[in-house]
């Protein structure tokens, strides 16, 4: 009876959310091209690759979007290093996750969209993939898919597991559904003690939940070629050598306006300061460009730059990076970074990446999605967290005027990240034990 009720809720939920899905499909693209994947129906090429006997062992890993794709890619590399005969099917949910996953998968790996959590869709997907193991990343728990794995004797795992502040009450409230599913997992590798306690409160098996730390310290990798390419773009926009680049990374609505206001105040006392904005969703490019122009600056859009220098550069211009996959390169060239989804929106984006690059990094108060990471970085005095926009302006002004403080903060940040790497390899060993 419980699963009949769950499936009814799923039908109602998808029906209500369908207009939202269709709108995202229109805005982002990607969904429509592989829409059959959502129902476990694959095109002829994918079916042929799934049916080929190239790998006696096949592991299916699911990663919902970009952040989880990086986690999955790191785990795949570690598993492949230990067992080269393993083949991988990587599934993702979002079109942005798909675009990043295309860069991460190997030539023998198979990339698909995750099926909807309906019994029929799940059954067709498992019939086609026939995985030896199934691995979920972070907070993805799909009851029908996991129950189907259990019924077929396919061991399932949850890695880099976390339970957000928002999800924890729901997990407890719906323990009736989540408990049996969590107890069906062979192993849960959690990011922190708090995540472990929340999973246990939701009904997970005490003996199957281990705390190993966060994959996120392993995911970030500096790329000399990407940094050189970003440096060339900055030079072209009069933001290269001799300039102090203030970068807003993965910003969300409202945060760009705050940074533009801070930049307007600081640039008079810091004439070499330059601002680069990289919004979390590239399709917000038009809205962010309009925000830049409303603030009185000229917008240089990365997607529209040519070989010729922009006609309006210098302190009156702001560089908008409205492309995907270039952010790490720009982090490596920044002198000061604010990490988004932390000032007005909740959860935060990945603050490890600028820290790895040795950049002085400031973040807002809302970092729930990175609680164990933030605890480690704050303990090492490797990042600055501010309570509001006013404090953000004050800290950026202080750091802009103190190159020694910027250098020392960046050095502590890089050292803190490097000390905590190695979790992905540890988890790969546990999964294959």
**pLDDT tens digits for range 344-391:** 989 999 999 999 999 999 999 999 889 889 999 999 999 999 999 999
Considering just the CA atoms, what is the radius of gyration of the chain in Å? 23
Question: Which one, of 190, 103, 186, 182, lies nearest residue 426 by Cα?
Answer: 190
> Of the CATH numbers 3.40.50.300, 3.30.70.870, 3.40.50.620, 3.40.50.2000, which one belongs to the domain with range 224-419?
3.40.50.2000
Kindly report the average pLDDT of the chain as a whole number: 91
Distance CA 61, CA 26 (A): 27
Query: Would you identify the CATH topology of the domain 29-220+422-432?
Result: Rossmann fold (3.40.50)
Sheet holding 273-279, edge to edge: 298-301, 317-320, 273-279, 244-251, 336-339, 360-363, 384-385
Residue among 118, 124, 67, 75 at smallest CA distance from 92: 67
Could you tell me which of 340, 349, 433, 427 has the C-alpha nearest to residue 161?
427
Q: At what angle do helices 2-28 and 95-104 cross, to 10 degrees?
A: 80
pLDDT for 15 beyond 80: no
Residue partners of 203: CB distance under 8 A and separation at least 6: 175, 178, 179, 180, 182, 183
Mean local confidence (pLDDT), 258-278:
97
Which region among 8-17, 142-151, 338-347, 405-414 has the lowest average model confidence (pLDDT)?
Answer: 8-17
Decide if 353 is catalytic.
Answer: no
Q: How is the chain split among helix, strand and coil, in percent rounded to 5?
A: 50, 15, 30
What are the tens digits of pLDDT across the range 63-84? 988 889 999 999 999 999 999 9
CA distance 158 to 188: 5
pLDDT tens profile 204-240: 999 999 999 998 898 788 999 999 999 999 999 999 9
pLDDT in tens, 410-430: 999 999 999 999 999 999 999
The rounded distance, in Å, linking the Cα atoms of 178 and 290 is 44
Residues 373-401 as b or e (16 or more Cβ within 10 Å = b): bbebbeebebbbbbeebeebbebbeebbe
pLDDT-derived band at 26 (thresholds 50, 70, 90) equals low
Q: For residue 216, count other CB atoms closer than 10 A to its CB.
A: 27
pLDDT of residue 324: 86
Residue 361 near residue 400 (C-beta atoms within 8 A) = no
Domain ranges in the chain? 29-220+422-432, 224-419
Backbone angles phi, psi at 129, to 5 degrees: -85, -40
Which is nearest to 24 in space by CA: 107, 121, 113, 102?
113
Mean pLDDT, range 397-421, rounded to an integer: 97
Of the candidates 68, 138, 255, 291, the residue annotated as catalytic is 68
Average pLDDT over residues 248-274: 97
Whether 94 has a pLDDT exceeding 90, the answer reads: no
């Amino acid at each position: 009876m419980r699963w009949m009720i769950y499936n009814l809720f799923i039908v109602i939920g998808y029906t209500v959310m369908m207009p939202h899905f269709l709108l995202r499909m229109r805005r982002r693209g990607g969904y429509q091209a592989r829409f059959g994947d959502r129902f476990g129906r694959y095109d002829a090429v994918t079916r042929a690759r799934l049916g080929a006997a190239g790998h006696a062992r096949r592991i299916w890993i699911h990663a919902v979007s970009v952040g989880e794709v990086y986690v999955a890619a790191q785990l795949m590399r570690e598993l492949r290093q230990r067992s080269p005969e393993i083949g991988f099917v990587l599934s993702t949910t979002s079109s942005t996750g798909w675009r990043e996953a295309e860069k991460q998968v190997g030539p023998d790996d198979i990339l698909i969209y995750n099926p909807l959590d309906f019994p029929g869709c799940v059954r067709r997907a498992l019939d086609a993939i026939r995985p030896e193991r199934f691995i979920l990343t972070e907070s993805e728990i799909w009851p029908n898919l996991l129950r189907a794995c259990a019924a077929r004797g396919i061991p399932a795992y949850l890695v880099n597991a976390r339970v957000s502040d928002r999800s924890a009450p729901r997990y407890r409230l719906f323990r009736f559904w989540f408990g049996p599913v969590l107890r069906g997992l062979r192993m849960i590798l959690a990011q922190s003690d708090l995540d472990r306690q929340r999973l246990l409160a939701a009904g997970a098996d005490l003996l199957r939940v281990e705390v190993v730390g966060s994959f996120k310290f392993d995911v970030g990798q500096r790329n000399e070629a990407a940094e050189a390419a970003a440096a060339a773009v900055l030079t072209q926009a009069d933001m290269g050598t001799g300039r102090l680049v203030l970068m807003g990374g993965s910003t969300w609505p409202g945060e760009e306006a705050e940074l533009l206001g801070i930049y307007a105040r600081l640039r008079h006392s810091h004439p070499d300061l330059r601002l680069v904005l990289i919004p979390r969703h590239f399709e917000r490019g038009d809205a962010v460009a309009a925000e830049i122009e409303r603030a009185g600056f000229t917008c240089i859009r990365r997607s529209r730059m040519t070989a010729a220098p922009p006609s309006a550069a210098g302190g009156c211009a702001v560089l908008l990076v409205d492309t995907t996959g270039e952010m790490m390169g720009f982090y490596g060239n920044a002198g000061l970074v604010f990490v988004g989804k932390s000032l007005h929106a909740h959860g935060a984006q990945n603050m490890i990446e600028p820290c790895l690059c040795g950049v002085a990094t400031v973040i807002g108060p809302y970092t729930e999605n990175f609680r164990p990471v933030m605890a480690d970085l704050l303990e090492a005095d490797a990042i600055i967290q501010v309570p509001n926009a006013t404090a953000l302006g004050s800290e950026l002004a202080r750091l802009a005027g103190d190159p020694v403080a910027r250098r020392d903060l960046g050095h502590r940040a890089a050292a803190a990240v490097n000390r905590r790497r190695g979790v992905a390899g540890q988890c790969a060993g546990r999964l294959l034990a």
